[in-house]
Amino acid sequence: MYLAVVAGGFRRYATYRAATVAGVFTNTVFGLILVYTYLALWNERPDLGGYGPAQAVTYVWLGQALYATLAVQGGGFEIELMERIRTGEIAIDLYRPADLQWWWLAHDLGRSGFQLLGRGVVPFLFGVLVFPVALPGDPLTWFAFLLTVLLAMVVSFAIRYLVALSTFWLLDGTGVMQMLMILGLLCSGMVLPLNVFPGLFGEVVRVLPWAALLQGPADVLMGETGALPVFALQGAWAVALLAAGRLVQSAATRRVVVQGG
């Protein structure tokens, strides 16, 4: 059943062809802006964060490929789930012969898969063809990288699921979504690689769950770290956050609160 939900999520987002084309264009343009900004920065600091210029460029295009895939600033299932909680339609979901958390995880994996193929691949290939990049020639490294992306999808879902469940108490999740957007942009390394952040702040952000989204997969792809430490970080956060989501779901669904009474 859950495989069918994954396929359904993929097909659902595949119908938005115009939005996908616009997203590809947007990611490519932002990629170009970031690349030239990074190159100017790395021209002054050639080994900033332990990266060379080619690695910095690779990091940019990987970030553009994974931005929508991982819904770094939100924009996936959580908006729909928040609305269903607010209106009380979540009661119907709870009567379905499927686990609520697993249902939405399967749906989001389908969305992520389409965004990776439909919106992420083209900007990444554009960057690889136009700029000097640092990519591995070893198929095992690529396989390990794809596994890190899959784990990053799960971690991303787990973060956003907790955000969505907050609507059971807040009824309006706008403020929490704003916090998610800010934290996702900064702590995932989408603005700058987390390796460049100095001191205690850098040490903290590199162990937060958002580090499992972009920084970990990027370092595996470019050979900056072994796959096992990244798997461990991602796996630990996936288990912890999914478990937290399960506990919050259990507490929240004891009483479904509908806005207005």
Residue 257's pLDDT is 46
Residue 5 has phi, psi (to 5 degrees) of: -65, -40
Residue 253 binned pLDDT confidence (cut-offs 50, 70, 90): confident
Give the whole-angstrom CA distance, residue 130 versus residue 46.
Answer: 20
Q: What is the mean pLDDT of the segment spanning 164-169? A: 89
Give the pLDDT confidence of 221-233 residue by residue, as tens digits: 998 889 999 999 9
Give the pLDDT confidence of 120-150 residue by residue, as tens digits: 999 999 999 999 999 998 999 999 999 999 9
pTM of whole model > 0.85?
A: yes
Domain positions in the chain are 2-252
Encoding tokens for residue 122? 């083209």
Longest Cα–Cα distance in the chain: 60
Q: Is the pLDDT of residue 194 over 80?
A: yes
Closest CA to 160 of 235, 118, 213, 97: 213
Residue 93 binned pLDDT confidence (cut-offs 50, 70, 90): confident
Residue 259 binned pLDDT confidence (cut-offs 50, 70, 90): very low
Encoding tokens for residue 178? 């704003």
